[in-house]
Every structure is written in structure tokens, then in C-alpha cells.
Structure 1
Amino acid sequence: MRVGVPKEIKDHEDRVGLIPSSVRELVAHGHEVWVEKGAGKGAGIADRDYVAAGAKIVAETDAIWAGTDMIVKVKEPLAIERKKLRADQILFTYLHLAPDPDQARDLMASGATCIAYETVTSPLGTLPLLTPMSEVAGRMSVQVGAHALENHSKGRGILLGGVPGVAPAKVLILGGGVSGTHATTIAVGMGADVTVVDRSPEALRRLVAQFGSRIKTVFSTRDSVADLVAKADLVIGTVLVPGAAAPKMITRPMLKTMKRGSVIVDVSIDQGGCTETSRPTTHSRPTYVVDGVVHYCVANMPGGVARTSTFALNNATLPFTLALADKGWRKALAEDPHLKNGLNVHAGRITHPAVAEALGFSLLAAEKALAA
């Protein structure tokens, strides 16, 4: 199979779909890999590194899309990229379709087979290709939140960990999953007053076992969230429903109760965000203010630490990339039910139930897509 790696074009997206060691594995399996010139530059990977691994460097992005059988990316294809997809092509990347009907329609119109990193599952019920970026985003959320609390960012002018004689910031973390746990790690390490909210008693017990008395845990209800939001200096939203739109944990009326200059970092923004006032932002213009509350809603947070993120992502995606290249999408998905859960679009139809429900589109079950 011929595998294509285009350069990412989303604002300040410096990650890249494959690293040289992944290329070397694909080449060793008998595949060709075409990498767009300069695709790895933002992650500190030179074209010569790809050449040494056996890749072909291609100067024109159109040639990558037109001349390969499978496109391996990081972020969802933008509109200009979606027009280049072919019906006989595989797209393997993050898609986050639930809040993005325009992308879904374009992918359906292309006829391509689109497999989303974020809905591939594991035997343990986890999301192994989302996990590494959730870890990165969770850790980043605290540092960007701390920065947004500074005066020049229109924040309250609070140091996250305080100083002797001055109380630390109150940090509220919505969701105790992967991102929430990693956000908790950094917030505790910086000396903040941390509360984590979740609807899973098991998640709360796990967090208490991990952090002990250094954090507070609260079972999530509308009343508990409303009470805690009003007291918080920094709210980090990490709520996730696999494949579906994120639930709106913070309503507009709740926002009006928050302190002027407090901050919301919405890690869930890829899936539509967990507050009613969240909208995607970019690394170029990461924040905006609503009702005196600073919102940080960058939809590709891990792109800000591209080298760490790229290598972490490839550690997770490589086995699945190899399976798709070695076997073709139909056999690879038929033999691996967890990879099959990653199928979001095929032959003009939505094939993931949570995505179809979120968008209000008809569903073609993945099993029927494989049998067709």
C-alpha cells in the first residue's frame, strides 16, 4: 500500500501523522510512504530523517492526496483537504465529527473510508488512540489556565499555588478520566486547591487513592457543579462521551455567577465543549471573554507541544496503521472489533452510532459496511 503523510494546515498545528521510526516499520512491511516536504518540521523532524527511514519526500500536497491509498494525519481534514479525498481512499486521523456536520457531509460526499482515532477502543473499554493526547491536553490545561489567570490575559491576577500567607487558586476539574487525572496531577503539583467532579464513584475512589487528602472529590450533579463553579478561579472541563457531543456542564446562568477574571479551559472543545459559551479558538487567538470570564478553547491543544505529542501519538497509532496497510481496511476491521469501532464514515454513510445520533444522520452499521 502507498501511505501518504500531508503537512497539517490547521492553525499552529505542528504535529505530523508519522514519525521516521513508524515509516521504517511500514517500509519493512513492503509499503511505500510519501511524506510532504516539511511535514515534520514543527515536531523537529527533518526531511532527511524521513528519507533515511525509506520515505519519499513529495513537494506538492496535491500529489500526496492524489497518489496514495491511505492518508495518515493528526487533525481532521479542513474543507480544502476534504475535496481531495477519493472514494477508494482510507483516511486515518482524528475526526471529532459529532459537533461538525459540515465535515461529516464532506467526508460522506467523498465516498472515502474514514477511521477516527478517537473512537478506536481497547479490550479494557478505553480509547487507546485518544489517551495520549488526553494526557497531553490534561497536563497543558493547567499551565495554560495558570497563564490565563494572569492580569495581562484579563485574568484575576492569581498565582495558581499562592504564596505563604496568600491562599492558592481554587481549581475545579470537571471529569476524572484521563485528561482530568493528568490535570489533577499538575494542579496538585503547582500547589492549587483542587476539587474534581465526576459521576462515577469508581473514578472518584481511584482519584482519592491516587491523591489522598491533596484533593477534594464531589459527585457530579447540577447543584454541585453550580455551587463549585461560583467559587472557582480556574475551571478545567474534561468531560467526554466517546464519539458523541460533550454534555453542557456549565450553563450561561452559571457563568454569570463566576468571579470576574476567572478562567475556563475547555479541553472538551473537540467534541463541542462542555459549557454553553464555549466555541473553538486557535493557538493564534486562544482566549475570549464572556461575562467577565476568560475562555480558553483551543481545539488542538497538543499541537502546542508538537514533538511530545507526535511521538506519543505514534506510539499508540502504529500497530493500527500497520494493520490497515498490511490487510486493507476491510480485513483489518473484520479481524479487530476495536479498530472497527473507529469506522465513522464509509461509502457516503455515517457508521458510528454516537456520531449518527449527535448529527441526526442515518446510520449504516459498521458490520453492514464490512459485508457490503
Structure 2
Amino acid sequence: MLVGVPKEIKNKEFRVGMTPTSVREVVDAGHKVMVETGCGVGIGMDDTSYRKAGAKVVKTAAEIFAKADMIVKVKEPQASERKMLREGQILFTYLHLAPDPAQTKDLVKSKATCIAYETVTSPTGGLPLLAPMSEVAGRLSIQAGAYYLEKAHGGHGLLLGGVPGVDPAKVVIIGGGMVGRHAAHIALGMGADVWVIDRNVDVLRSLWAQFDRPLNTVYSTKDAIERHCAEADLVVSGVLIPGAAAPKLITRDILKTMKAGSVIVDVAIDQGGSAETSKATTHDNPVYVVDDVIHYCVANMPGGVPKTSTYALNNATLPFILQIANRGWRKALTENKHLMAGLNVHAGHVTYKAVADDLGYKFTAPEEAVRI
């Protein structure tokens, strides 16, 4: 199989779909890899590194899209990239389709086989290709929140951990999954007063067992979210319904009760965001203000630390890349139900139910679609 790795073109996206190390593994397995020149610059890898790993370096993404059997990326294909996809081609990347009707429409029209990192599952019920970026984003959310709480950056001038004799900031984390767990780890390490809200008592028990009493846990209700957001200096939302649009848990009415100069970091923005006032931002312009509350809604947060993010992502994606390349997409999906769960669009059909439901498409079961 010919695997293609284009350079990412989303705003301030420095990650890359495959490192030279991953390329070498795929080449050693008997496949060919084609990469776009400069694709690894953001992680400190030049074209020579890729050539030594066995890749062919080409000048344009157009050549990769025209020739490759499988395209491996990080972020969802941008409009110019979607125009180059073709019927029968495999696209393996993050997609986040539910809040993105334009992308979904283009992928359906392309008739390509589109496998989304974020809905591939694991035998333990987790999301192994989403997890590493959730870990990174959770940790970054506290860094970003602490930065924007500073008066010079628009916040109300509070040090996250306080000092002796002065209260620390109250950090409220909505969702105790991978994002929430890693956000809590960093926030507690910085000395903040940390509260995690989740509707799964087993998740709260697990967090309590990991962090002990310094962490406060709260069962999620509308009352709890309203009360704790009103008291919060920093709110981090990491709520996830796999493949579906994020629930709007922070309403406009709640926002009006929050402190002036407080901060919301909406890590759920890839799936549309958890606040009614959330809209995707970029690393160039990461924040905006609504009702005196700072909103940080960067849709590719891990792209800000591309070395860490790329290597963490490749550790997770490489086994699946090899499965698809070695067996072909149809056999790989049929033999691995967890990889099958990643199939979102195939041959003009929407094959992930949450996406179909949210965007009004007819749902075709992936097991049925792969026989088309």
C-alpha cells in the first residue's frame, strides 16, 4: 500500500500524521510512504529524516492525494484538501464531523473511506486514539486558564495556586474523563482549589482514589453546574459524547452569573463546545469575551505543543496504520470491531450513528457499508 502524509494546513497546526520512526515501521512492513516536503518541520524533523526512514519526499500535497491509497493526517481535511479526495481512497485522521456539516457533505461526496481517530474504540471501552490528545489538551487547559487569569491578559488578576494567607483560584472541571483527569492533575499540582463535576459516580470514585481529599468531586446536576460555575475563577469543560455534538451545559444564563474576568477553557470545542457562547478559535486569536467572561476555544490545542503531541499520537495510531496497510481497509475493519467503530463515512454513506443523527443523514451501519 502507498501511504501518503501531507503537511497540515490548519491554522498554527504543527503536528504531522507520521513521524520518521512510524514511516520506518511501515516501510519495513513492505509498504511505500510518500510525504510532503516540510511536513515534519514543526516537530524538528527535516526531509532528510524522512528519506532516511524510507519515505519519498514530494513537493505538493496534490501529488500525495493523487497517488496515495491511504492519507494519514492529524486534523480534519480542510476544504482544499477535501476537493482532492477520491472514491476508494482511505482517509485516517481526526474528523469531528457532528458540528461540521460542510466537511461531512464533502466527505460523503468524495466517496472516500473515512476513518476517524476519535471514534476508534478499545477492548476496555476507551477511545485509544483520542486519549493521548485529551491528555495533552487537559494539561494545556490549566496552563491556558492560568495565563488568561492574569490581569495583563484580561483576567481578574488571580494566581491559580494563591500564596500563604491568600485563597487559591477555584477551578471547576466539567467532565471527569481523560481531559478532566489530566486537568485536575495539573491544577492540583499548581495548588488550586479543584472541583470535578461528573454524572458517573464510578468516575468520581476513581478520581477520589487517585487524588484523595485535595480533589473535590460533585455529582453533575443543573444545580451543581450553575452553583459551581458562578463561584469559579476557571472552568474547564471536557465533556464528551463519542462522535456526537457536545451538550450545551454552560448556558447563557449561567454565563451571566460568572465572575467578571473569569475564564472558560472549552476543550469540547472540536465537537461544538459545551458552552452556548463557545465558538472555535485559533492559536493566532485564541480568546474572546462574552459577558466579561474570557472564552478560550482553540480547536487544535495540542497543536501548540507539536513534539509532545505528535509522538503521543503516533504511539497510538501506528498499530492501526499497520493493520490497514497490511490487511487492506475492508479486512482490517471486518476483523477488528474497534477499528470498525472508527468508520464515519464510506462510499457516500454516513456510517456513524451520532453523526447521522446530529446532521440529518440516513445512517448506514458500518458492517453493512463495508460490503458496498
TM-score between the two structures when normalised by the length of structure 1: 0.99
After TM superposition, list the pairs within 5 Å mapping 1:1-372 onto structure 2.
1-372=1-372
Cα drift, residue 68 of structure 1: 0.7
* Cα distance per residue 1:312-365 (max 9 Å; x no partner): 000000010001111111010000000000000001110011111111211111
Structure 2: 5+ residue stretches without partners? none
Q: Secondary structure at the match of 2:354?
A: helix
Question: Which runs of 4 or more aligned residues in structure 1 lie more than 3 Å from their structure 2 counterparts after TM superposition?
Answer: none
Structure 2 letter corresponding to 1:158:
L
- Mapped to 2, the partners of 1:275 and 1:152 lie a distance apart of 25
* Cα distance per residue 1:21-58 (max 9 Å; x no partner): 11011111111100100000001111111111000011
Structure 2 letter corresponding to 1:131:
A
Structure 2 letter corresponding to 1:332:
A
* Cα distance per residue 1:172-214 (max 9 Å; x no partner): 0000001100000000000000000000000000011111111
Structure 1: 5+ residue stretches without partners? none
- Mapped to 2, the partners of 1:113 and 1:153 lie a distance apart of 44
Residues 142 and 187 of structure 2 are in contact (CA less than 8 Å); yes or no, is this contact kept in structure 1? yes
- Mapped to 2, the partners of 1:251 and 1:270 lie a distance apart of 18
Structure 1 letter corresponding to 2:79:
A
Structure 2 letter corresponding to 1:297:
C
- Mapped to 2, the partners of 1:370 and 1:154 lie a distance apart of 51
- Mapped to 1, the partners of 2:349 and 2:282 lie a distance apart of 30
Counting aligned pairs with the same residue, the percent is: 64
Residues 88 and 347 of structure 2 are in contact (CA less than 8 Å); yes or no, is this contact kept in structure 1? no
- Mapped to 2, the partners of 1:307 and 1:260 lie a distance apart of 35
Cα drift, residue 60 of structure 1: 1.3
Cα drift, residue 370 of structure 1: 1.6
Cα drift, residue 246 of structure 1: 0.6
Residues 346 and 370 of structure 2 are in contact (CA less than 8 Å); yes or no, is this contact kept in structure 1? no
* Cα distance per residue 1:241-284 (max 9 Å; x no partner): 00111111100000000000000000000000001000000000
- Mapped to 2, the partners of 1:348 and 1:156 lie a distance apart of 50
Cα drift, residue 165 of structure 1: 1.4
Structure 1 letter corresponding to 2:189:
G
Q: Secondary structure at the match of 2:257?
A: coil
Structure 2 letter corresponding to 1:321:
I
- Mapped to 2, the partners of 1:341 and 1:351 lie a distance apart of 9
* Cα distance per residue 1:34-89 (max 9 Å; x no partner): 01000000011111111110000111111011111100000000111100000020
Structure 2 letter corresponding to 1:155:
G
- Mapped to 2, the partners of 1:164 and 1:147 lie a distance apart of 21
Question: What RMSD, in angstroms, separates the aligned Cα atoms of the two structures?
Answer: 0.6
- Mapped to 2, the partners of 1:137 and 1:173 lie a distance apart of 13
Structure 1 letter corresponding to 2:278:
S
TM-score between the two structures when normalised by the length of structure 2: 0.99
- Mapped to 2, the partners of 1:359 and 1:329 lie a distance apart of 26
Cα drift, residue 8 of structure 1: 0.2
